[in-house]
Chains A and B, each alone.
Chain A
């Protein structure tokens, strides 16, 4: 990279090399690390303007705007479906916990049924044998 190209990118993209074209960043970094006082001074000047630009912050969206957008979505056809999905989003983590609980309960029942297998009356043991296919399935799950 020539000093002229470095200066051109500094003038257009600012001092933060992450905003520079990706293909030219390494060369720019190497050039900046060299002993060119003029380039470092130009870089510092560009950084000053960047700090000014960063001072122009925009307030984040308020809850009222988010609610208005949700309401606006509800008033259009397919948007209503999208809104329903958006509304349901908080439901999914809770559904996940509920499903985990159900799986735990089934697994617990299987462990108890296997542990008590030898002490059960014959009829109950027959029933348990019929249930072993389900138990095997449980073993398969544990390997997944």
Chain B
């Protein structure tokens, strides 16, 4: 249960004859039948009703930011008034609980203010308005200075500076990866890896970025190639498709597409090269075998062509074009 500690600022010590001026005592409390004199009753009631509103300083009757020694002395004086053990053999009635409550509050105030660290923090929080502004300004200034000092240190120290730069590059690269800008990301990762050759994470990230960037470029080129093929600009389409195959060698579809285009143009030699490349990179990709079979058939090597076509059917029995092709070859063989 936390109190609103900063709510009450210490008031100025006024010249007042009555310490409790403006405070209304409950007559029933004052007239309770207990062994306490009038003044003591008023002191206890006044303290008890201010438990929540007083600051730790006020509880101990101290000015704001009083030193730890004063806190200890004030605490000793207060506990002598508010500890129930100070009233041996006396009837205390409801005042026993009141005393205990005030005692706990006084002890709490002491616990916060006796330790130098918590005292400073509390003093900052409960400072009067003008004091608070001054402290706040100093705090900001300190912060600014600390920041500048850190920056200066980083600049003057090559090791610290390079480490900072590598971290920065990696961060930016990751951001670019997330946004799909793979080639930029690759650039940053590669730069980072070259600055800090021992940085394993930079290396793996660079490889990953390169793969994703290649795939990205290959897809773009492939799309352009398809558009060109539709326009019947077969040489440009073939060039683009071959480029895609080179950019993303892991995907055989591009090479197969390029080989078909070459075949359509009648560029048998390049068609064969592309088809063989596709089969090499993806031996279990049926269309690669099919196109190689077509190229071989065009070149007149019927035996090899049939073997390739059969191989493609073996890998993918639903490949209708290959089946047709095989049938035709059989007929021509018979005829």
The answer to whether A and B belong to the same complex is no
